[in-house]
Structure 1
Amino acid sequence: MSKLRELSRETLFGAALLGLTYLAMLAGVITESWWTFAIGAAGSYAVDALLLHRLQDLAKLVQQIRLGITPRALLRQLLVLGLLITTTSATSTGIGMVLLAFLLLFGLQLVAGIAARMLRASRKLPVVTRNIDLEPLNIPDSPPMPLVREPMSRLLPLDAFLVFGVVGYVALGSAWIVAAGAVLTLGVTVLALLMLAWHIRRARTIPSPEQVMEFTQSWLDSYRPEVVLYFSGSADSAYQVNMWLDTMARLPRRGIIVLRERVIAAQLAPTSVPVLCVPTSTDLMALDFGPARVALYPANTGKNIHMLRNPVIKHVFIGHGDSDKIASVNPFSKVYDEVWTAGRAGLDRYVRAQVGVRTDEIVEVGRPQLDAIRTDTAPNAVRTVLYAPTWEGWTDEPGNTSLTDAGPTLIARLLKAEPGVRVLYKPHPFTGIRSAQARRAHQKIVALLEAANKAAGHGEPDTRELAALDRRLAVFDDDRGATDEAHNSREEGRTDPGIIAEAAALVDDWHRVYWKGRPDTAHLVIQGPRPSLYSCFDQADLLISDISSVVADFVATEKPYAITNCEGITHEEFRVKHPTSSAAYMLLPDGKGLDTALAAVHLREADELAEQRRALRTYLLGPSDVTSMSRFTAAVDDLYTRAADLRPLTPLGGETPAGLSRP
């Protein structure tokens, strides 16, 4: 599919509007019509604001085709000079003075851009932290973010006073309008430059990157971490580490969360555990984590190697959910000392896959996140079906997701089901990032549910109370950009248990208000971190999903679930290939089998797979007579003890022990 066809309507509208504004200015110059030019100029400034604050996709596109803010500003100035030149009353001296003002403005803006870059560099620490006291670093308050975040997008439009001063002169013939515009434009630019210089001077109190890393090592020496949760990933994968924060906080051993991407640090959920984000590999590999002997990895990524090279630490892959997907038996798992799975199913997967992971390296630890999962269902007026398909994956293997082959068909049949059911649709966060077909299927499902709600007379819910909770939660959510990283790290330097408890209480209130504010019969499209997947589990009487960790987690509820077989094989072959489907009601892409699954929800005696689900729960997640958290804690303690009992190894880069020689 071409790039043009993938552009959203909003992006195409913005591109058309941008082109029209410059055509209007050009038309004003050609026809000597000052008001036509003024309309075009005003529109161009409005589009600049939209590109900065809303039309980010279009902003990236125009930047790629070399129509960024700088060439657009220069073109606008060239056009207004053209308008001035075509005016009969304009003198060569006046035109020269206006040109000189634009040149002076360009020089000031160039210096301001360099100063903004210097300010960003002076305040960019080599680490991003949370729950680590940075008071010794003497970090001053953040400068206003418009000064450091895309400063040219804010500085260049300041030529508006001078541009409209020229238009005013053309319209009214008064030279003082041009002079006033020039003074305002140059004055505001100089003021911005002075503010930048002041903040650069204040930032001189921040130690050098080398000194910051020395401080970081000193803090590690005093804190003496024992367990490391290490994570690296893309911006949309933060959920993979967030799901382990509570588990880390409940471990009795001193823990630390080590991240590699600044964007992940900004999206990390509230936690009482110290957080250390070290983007540069050499900085991370130079750190000594002291008594730390266990490192836990929720994801397989290339940057894991920078921690894996530490020989005094035992490295454990814990993943971000068990499933029968091929990703759950990644051969990369061989690099870890141990692989921890929820139940026996995880061990059997590796045995079948034969990817080199030995059975004595696999430890069953349960799934701590599921300890609080409920087995009952919210008392809704109608039965609720949760459709939570996984995403399309990086390959085109059949059956990666039911969304493309069966999603809209399943939703259409659910909307016509008798007795009626309510549908909750919660797609995977990655849905549509690779496949246009998946995006179209998602959009069709959203349209079907919106049309069904409209036909049933369901209007928009009252979201005022929810919006108030959102505003309060925004304080705890990912970085909103009001201050810079250094300021945020300083402010979040000390753990306040009360804040963590307040955030948890607000999340609970948010979920209560959300579900209370939606009619029991209204269909819902649920995206983003809230409502959470487990909150949707509480509402659901039936899950329809694919081969993913969602199924394994839902099995903990012991409620009926269905899986769509889109692989073109028999249901018997499917169950053998994917053991998590052994207690599922099987569906075909055309929806065949859905009536049987719905019958199991409406009539308990029609639920033929209840006993199989209970057995599957133990197989997938381990025994239910002991909490997963206690099993997980015991596994950490056991591995830590075994690692600590080993003979200490030479630290990376350290001296060779006596009696040994280097080759």
Structure 2
Amino acid sequence: MPSARLAPRRIAQLSALLAMFALFTAQIVSALLPNVPVFVAASAAGLVLDTALQYRDPGLLAVLGKVRFDTLVRQLLRDMLILVGLLRIEGIDPETEHAPLVVGLCAFYALHFACQGMAVLVRRTRTLPIVTRNIDASALRLTAAPPRLLARRQAHRLLAFSLPTTAGLMATAATKDGLWGGIGLGTALALTLGGTAYLATWLLPKKRAKNEQQVMEWLDQWLAGYRPTVAMYFSGGTTSAYQANMWLSTLSKVEGQPLIVLRERFMVQKIDATDVPIICFPKVATMFSLENSSLQMMLHPANAAKTSQVLRIPTIKHAFINHGESDKLSSCNPYAKAYDEVWVAGPAARERYALAEVGVEDKDIVEVGRPQLAPIRPYSGAPTGPRDKDASEHLTTVLYAPTWEGWDGNPGNTSVVLAGENIVRGLLADDNVRLLYKPHPMTGSVDPRAGAANERIMAMIREANTRRSGSRPGPEAAAELVRRTTALDELTSTHFRDSADELERMLLQGAPRGDREAAITEATTAWEKAYWASFPEWEHQIITDARPAIFACFNQADLLISDVSSVVSDWLSSEKPYAVANTSGLTEEAFRTGFPTVSAGVILTPSAEGVPALLESVRHPEKDQFTSARAELKDHLLGPADPPSLVRFNNAVRALCAKADERRVVMEARLAGEIPSPREASEEMSDDAGSNGAGDSVTA
């Protein structure tokens, strides 16, 4: 399926490359003959094709750049062939017409390189040592960015400014009048010179941002005024932002002054809408400015290569909170022992670390629950969905949310490859089932078989929908969804100009006004209601976008089918029935023993023959054998309901902040000489021992 979809695009790319090389060939041959009509057409078409590809398929041209046949080389070759052609066309004087054109073209390229140098200089002055969001940084003299064509797109700029040059030279070739070439070159020179001069204005004091030292001095002043106490530290790749985003609601509610610390510049825009101040420290040296701030502790939702760098700040305590808990080995990584404390949801995770023997001591584990699970609604009994007049059962909504294949190639990681199609086939065979399919966003990123199976599953669901019929919501439902989407996007998205750079985004994303998070929560609730109302209640859904979130799907579903993952642990907060696919090759007994989170659920084999019985137990709770087991497992995995998880989380924050304060007092006293260093203490003890020895000798 994926290869079939990609085939037309590959064919189009190959055709474009062949056309480009064919035009170069035609330009060479027609320049040497010379054949003026073909020469003019090939030269113009080559430039037009190159320009079009810059906008429509830059990835294809990037491949040419890897073999050093980039835009500059192609345009130089194109212009050189034009000059060769003009030299061979009779009627164009080499000395009075051709030579000035050569000089003009050389001047054009000299100005192009000058403009590129100016662009590099401007970009450097607009690259600050830090990036902020939700902070008023206007004191740094932030300004709007220069046009992207001038500052960042040298290939687009070269081709755009070459258009009048090529047009003029082609007119000279057709008319044998060098004046046209001079006009084209003059226009190109004026454009390039004007662009360079315009770019230079961003180096003037009014448009130039403060230097690195001034920026760091400003940051120290801001930290002193804001006085942060708790920070969430995050570093990762482009697809890992969800690991931090799931903790935003909790972070905004912690006691004290929260802060988000990032390490990658691109991640600043990957973090979802929040009112919490964000600071990105691309360099380690700048990050150490936090050492002298009021920051007491950091929360870590993920392990990353750059985490070790922040752990070196001695004034800050660190707690690992993870981005989800499951029975997988990754949930008890040996790296966790690098933190001062490991915060887990409940007793199950404490036991998991003890069994794993990865060096995390029991005294360093703190149970805080999962504060972000509050929006999940509890179990309310058998399905009560709509029922068709001819149906014998209420509609049962089933959420199939498999995880991805992971990095280690373990077949038990995801059910998509071995069991997914059988599970979906069994669910679709029941007319009283409505399926919500929400695969992990990284499905197929490592194992192509998972991606292919995912495509087949979605095709099965789409085909099943064609066999269903019933009433559909009216156009007012779709209009309401559009209205709610627009309202939510206005709150959660910041729309930037195409030319906007970091400084401009920092300017636009300054200190938030009002309680934006409360407004987002309200808008999200309204959007989710409109989203579900926009579809027929009998229609199966494939959900691959970020919205609706997994918790919104939880609240729609009567049953979850998943894999060994944190999705199961989170689902248990509702105490609704669930099933886990066993594709590990283990027996059911060994599977339940090895993965405690599945102990209160139905186990499905790869053939998924247990789906009908599973649905029966959901529709008739008296047949459900795991009702009490789910309640017990919920407490074991997530901790007690009282006190609430957010209260326990804040208690843990206060306790770790207190430990950080105690350490600071001790260290400050030691530096002040009130408490001797270990070496000084050892020397004093040696002196005392010597004095006592001498005294005893005299006494004797």
Report the TM-score, using the length of structure 1 for normalisation.
0.90
Q: Is the 8 Å Cα contact of residues 123 and 151 (structure 2) preserved in structure 1?
A: yes
Q: Describe the SS at the equivalent of 1:641.
A: helix
Correspondences of 1:303-452 after superposition (within 5 Å):
303-375=306-378, 379=385, 382-415=395-428, 417-452=429-464
Q: Which moved more, 1:81-90 or 1:151-160?
A: 81-90
Q: Describe the SS at the equivalent of 1:287.
A: helix
Per-residue CA deviations over 1:143-173 (Å, capped at 9, x if unaligned) read 2333333343334332122223333444555
What CA RMSD, in Å, does the superposition of the two structures yield over aligned residues? Answer: 3.1
Correspondences of 1:3-82 after superposition (within 5 Å):
9-10=8-9, 13-27=12-26, 29-31=28-30, 32=35, 33=38, 34-35=40-41, 37-52=43-58, 56=59, 58-82=60-84
Q: Is the 8 Å Cα contact of residues 122 and 203 (structure 1) preserved in structure 2?
A: no
**Alignment match, 2:118:** 115
Q: Is the 8 Å Cα contact of residues 129 and 275 (structure 1) preserved in structure 2?
A: yes
Unaligned ranges ≥5, structure 1: none
Cα distance, 1:273 vs structure 2: 1.7
| AA aligned opposite 1:433 | S
**Alignment match, 2:493:** 477
Q: Describe the SS at the equivalent of 2:650.
A: helix
**Alignment match, 2:654:** 637
Q: Is the 8 Å Cα contact of residues 429 and 527 (structure 1) preserved in structure 2?
A: yes
Of 216, 227, 242, 2:219 maps to 216
Correspondences of 1:136-147 after superposition (within 5 Å):
136-147=139-150
Correspondences of 1:277-288 after superposition (within 5 Å):
277-288=280-291
| AA aligned opposite 2:417 | T
Give the distance between the partners of 1:112 and 1:22, measured in 2 at CA.
29
Give the distance between the partners of 2:673 and 2:442, measured in 1 at CA.
48
Give the distance between the partners of 2:582 and 2:362, measured in 1 at CA.
30
Correspondences of 1:193-342 after superposition (within 5 Å):
193-202=196-205, 205-342=208-345
Q: Is the 8 Å Cα contact of residues 18 and 47 (structure 1) preserved in structure 2?
A: no
Q: Is the 8 Å Cα contact of residues 122 and 203 (structure 2) preserved in structure 1?
A: yes
Per-residue CA deviations over 1:164-190 (Å, capped at 9, x if unaligned) read 333344455565543443233222222
Cα distance, 1:578 vs structure 2: 0.7
Q: Which moved more, 1:552-561 or 1:169-178?
A: 169-178
With over 3 angstroms needed to count, the CA separation of the structure-2 counterparts of 1:172 and 1:559, relative to structure 1, is: farther
With over 3 angstroms needed to count, the CA separation of the structure-2 counterparts of 1:201 and 1:7, relative to structure 1, is: farther
Per-residue CA deviations over 1:254-273 (Å, capped at 9, x if unaligned) read 12111111111111112222
Per-residue CA deviations over 1:538-595 (Å, capped at 9, x if unaligned) read 2222222111111111111222222111111111111111111111221122223222
Cα distance, 1:456 vs structure 2: 4.5
| AA aligned opposite 1:73 | Q
Q: Is the 8 Å Cα contact of residues 21 and 41 (structure 1) preserved in structure 2?
A: no
Unaligned ranges ≥5, structure 2: 388-394, 681-700
Per-residue CA deviations over 1:402-456 (Å, capped at 9, x if unaligned) read 12222233333333x1224232222222222222222222222233333333454
Q: Is the 8 Å Cα contact of residues 371 and 627 (structure 1) preserved in structure 2?
A: no
Give the distance between the partners of 2:186 and 2:446, measured in 1 at CA.
51
Q: Is the 8 Å Cα contact of residues 569 and 597 (structure 2) preserved in structure 1?
A: yes
The higher radius of gyration belongs to 2
Q: Is the 8 Å Cα contact of residues 258 and 277 (structure 1) preserved in structure 2?
A: yes
Q: Is the 8 Å Cα contact of residues 316 and 336 (structure 1) preserved in structure 2?
A: yes
With over 3 angstroms needed to count, the CA separation of the structure-2 counterparts of 1:312 and 1:430, relative to structure 1, is: same
Per-residue CA deviations over 1:190-210 (Å, capped at 9, x if unaligned) read 222122111222566422112
Q: Is the 8 Å Cα contact of residues 466 and 510 (structure 1) preserved in structure 2?
A: yes
With over 3 angstroms needed to count, the CA separation of the structure-2 counterparts of 1:522 and 1:305, relative to structure 1, is: same
Cα distance, 1:350 vs structure 2: 0.5
Q: Describe the SS at the equivalent of 1:246.
A: helix
Q: Describe the SS at the equivalent of 2:57.
A: helix
Q: Is the 8 Å Cα contact of residues 473 and 533 (structure 2) preserved in structure 1?
A: no
Q: Describe the SS at the equivalent of 1:236.
A: coil
Cα distance, 1:87 vs structure 2: 4.0
Give the distance between the partners of 2:62 and 2:144, measured in 1 at CA.
31
Q: Which moved more, 1:611-620 or 1:509-518?
A: 509-518
Q: Describe the SS at the equivalent of 1:624.
A: coil
Give the distance between the partners of 1:622 and 1:161, measured in 2 at CA.
71
With over 3 angstroms needed to count, the CA separation of the structure-2 counterparts of 1:406 and 1:229, relative to structure 1, is: same
| AA aligned opposite 1:593 | G
Give the distance between the partners of 2:86 and 2:433, measured in 1 at CA.
68
Report the TM-score, using the length of structure 2 for normalisation.
0.86
Give the distance between the partners of 2:109 and 2:466, measured in 1 at CA.
54
| AA aligned opposite 1:604 | P
Give the distance between the partners of 2:50 and 2:170, measured in 1 at CA.
15
**Alignment match, 1:612:** 629
With over 3 angstroms needed to count, the CA separation of the structure-2 counterparts of 1:378 and 1:269, relative to structure 1, is: farther
With over 3 angstroms needed to count, the CA separation of the structure-2 counterparts of 1:100 and 1:500, relative to structure 1, is: farther
Cα distance, 1:7 vs structure 2: 7.1
Q: Describe the SS at the equivalent of 1:250.
A: coil
Correspondences of 1:497-646 after superposition (within 5 Å):
497-646=514-663
Cα distance, 1:121 vs structure 2: 0.7
Give the distance between the partners of 2:656 and 2:350, measured in 1 at CA.
18
Give the distance between the partners of 1:103 and 1:201, measured in 2 at CA.
29
Per-residue CA deviations over 1:5-61 (Å, capped at 9, x if unaligned) read 997753552343133133134325535313355444422221121134xxx4x3443
The percentage of counterpart residues that share the same residue type is 35
With over 3 angstroms needed to count, the CA separation of the structure-2 counterparts of 1:356 and 1:453, relative to structure 1, is: same
Q: Describe the SS at the equivalent of 2:665.
A: coil
Cα distance, 1:285 vs structure 2: 2.0
Give the distance between the partners of 1:288 and 1:15, measured in 2 at CA.
55
Q: Is the 8 Å Cα contact of residues 84 and 170 (structure 1) preserved in structure 2?
A: yes
Cα distance, 1:656 vs structure 2: 7.5
Per-residue CA deviations over 1:507-531 (Å, capped at 9, x if unaligned) read 3333233222222233333223211
Q: Describe the SS at the equivalent of 1:300.
A: coil
Give the distance between the partners of 1:141 and 1:580, measured in 2 at CA.
52
Q: Is the 8 Å Cα contact of residues 25 and 41 (structure 1) preserved in structure 2?
A: no
Per-residue CA deviations over 1:363-387 (Å, capped at 9, x if unaligned) read 1101000012112589466322222
| AA aligned opposite 2:153 | E
Q: Describe the SS at the equivalent of 2:350.
A: helix
Per-residue CA deviations over 1:77-103 (Å, capped at 9, x if unaligned) read 334445545544444344434433332
With over 3 angstroms needed to count, the CA separation of the structure-2 counterparts of 1:104 and 1:327, relative to structure 1, is: same
With over 3 angstroms needed to count, the CA separation of the structure-2 counterparts of 1:138 and 1:522, relative to structure 1, is: same
Q: Is the 8 Å Cα contact of residues 387 and 424 (structure 1) preserved in structure 2?
A: yes
Which consecutive segments of 4 or more residues in structure 1 shift more than 6 A? Answer: 4-8, 457-464, 653-658
With over 3 angstroms needed to count, the CA separation of the structure-2 counterparts of 1:9 and 1:406, relative to structure 1, is: farther
Give the distance between the partners of 1:36 and 1:59, measured in 2 at CA.
19
Q: Is the 8 Å Cα contact of residues 220 and 289 (structure 1) preserved in structure 2?
A: no
| AA aligned opposite 2:427 | L
